[in-house]
Amino acid sequence: MTRSETTTGTRARSAGRRPALVETFLVPPATPLEWAADAIRLIGAVSLIVGVVGWGALQGAVLALMFLGLVVPRFLGVRASIDVAVGIILLVAAWSSVLDLYRSVAWIDIPIHLALNGLLALLVVVAADRAGVVFDHRPAPLVALTLAVGLALAALWEMGEWGGHQFDEAVLVGYDDSILDMAVGGLGAALVAFLVPAALREGRWQGGR
């Protein structure tokens, strides 16, 4: 990173203004949580390489989606605590798939759907706000919006699992499983929705933790 890029990021942070997406991505870490979030991204990059080499195309695709999810919070500039939470859950979810833990440890599916679907719904709402989409920022409408986004993501997740099952029967699918996963994913979005107002107000450029 050049001195000018570092200076720009520092000025954006100190001024409290919302920088552009690329500018946000270039803001250097300044707190232990921010360093931790970037370390998790590094682990994700190594995981992607290891997964593609060691497990093949399908699991490599899972890890590629995981890595995409890891870099999105940095572009959005969400507060570091959310960034770290997203990173940890994504790593656990992806490697649980690669190592087939969803089959051997059946209960692990529930907390992952609860936490990850909720956090992804939060990121989508923040991304929409950053993109200039106008919506009501009052708490009740934000909860309803985040819940709707979370249910949509849960449905897409189950469609993805169905698609994966077409290539590899080891990917578990089933009516009861899909309905339960979508219900749990919606619950996760409803719970995380209460964090959305803070996520919209505060970010890394303000030193938000």
CA distances from 109 to 106, 114, 148, 193 (A): 6, 9, 21, 21
Q: What are phi and psi of 207, to 5 degrees?
A: 75, 20
For residues 109 and 100, is the Cβ–Cβ distance under 8 A?
no
Task: Give percent helix, percent strand, percent coil of the chain, each to the nearest 5.
Answer: 80, 0, 20
Q: Where are the domains of the chain?
A: 3-206
Which SS3 state, helix, strand or coil, does residue 157 take? helix
pTM value? 0.83
The residue type at 63: L
For residues 150 and 117, is the Cβ–Cβ distance under 8 A?
yes
Which SS3 state, helix, strand or coil, does residue 31 take? coil
203: β partners: 78
The residue type at 129: D
Question: CA triplet 137, 140, 141: central angle to 5 degrees?
Answer: 55
What is residue 151's predicted lDDT score, i.e. its pLDDT?
A: 95
Each residue's pLDDT tens digit, 157-194: 888 777 766 766 666 677 788 899 899 999 999 999 99
Give pLDDT < 50 ranges for the chain.
1-12, 14-15
Which SS3 state, helix, strand or coil, does residue 203 take? strand
What is residue 26's predicted lDDT score, i.e. its pLDDT?
A: 83
What is residue 107's predicted lDDT score, i.e. its pLDDT?
A: 85
Positions of E strands within the chain: none
The residue type at 53: V
Q: What H or E segment, with its residue span, contains residue 179?
A: helix 175-192
